[in-house]
């Protein structure tokens, strides 16, 4: 049975049925009004509110890490030490290749 035939049968059955006195007057209008009165969930509003709430802790963490970096005791005084550390960090994955033979 196709959906069009099913829809026709349901509509004919509904038209033949007499309305019951148990259904209150304007019941369908009240239901439709209640459906329309419910707030529509806007996902972008929720997302932006969460991001604004997260901005405060992120700023606090950034400030704490900045203060830690400024007042840290192990400061590098020489640019050569920093360059050597950078070179060692970049070439560290290749150190194991140097020792192994193919």
Whether residue 100 has pLDDT greater than 80: no
d(CA 83, CA 86) in angstroms, rounded, equals: 5
Whether residue 51 has pLDDT greater than 90: yes
d(CA 9, CA 3) in angstroms, rounded, equals: 10
Tens-place pLDDT, residues 9-43: 989 998 888 777 787 888 889 988 888 888 788 89
Whether residue 77 has pLDDT greater than 70: no
pTM to 2 decimals?
0.38
Taking the CA of residue 4 as centre, how many other CA atoms within 13 Å lie in the half-sphere pointing to its CB?
A: 0
d(CA 10, CA 17) in angstroms, rounded, equals: 11
The mean pLDDT of 83-95, rounded to a whole number, is: 84
d(CA 92, CA 84) in angstroms, rounded, equals: 12
Instruction: Give the list of residues 6+ apart from residue 8 with CB closer than 8 angstroms, or none.
Output: none
Q: Residue ranges per domain, the chain? A: 3-37
- Tokens standing for 4? 């069009």
pLDDT at 64: 96
Least confident of 48-52, 65-69, 97-101: 97-101
d(CA 55, CA 63) in angstroms, rounded, equals: 12
Does residue 76 contact residue 82 with C-beta atoms inside 8 Å? Answer: yes
């Amino acid at each position: 049975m196709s959906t069009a035939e099913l829809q026709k049968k349901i509509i004919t059955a509904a038209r033949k049925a007499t309305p019951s006195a148990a259904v209150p007057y304007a019941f369908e209008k009240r239901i439709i009004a209640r459906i329309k009165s419910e707030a529509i969930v806007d996902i972008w509003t929720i997302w932006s509110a969460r991001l604004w709430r997260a901005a405060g802790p992120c700023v606090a963490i950034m400030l704490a890490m900045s203060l830690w970096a400024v007042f840290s005791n192990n400061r590098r005084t020489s640019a050569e030490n920093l360059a050597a550390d950078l070179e060692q960090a970049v070439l560290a994955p290749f150190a194991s290749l140097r020792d192994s033979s193919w």
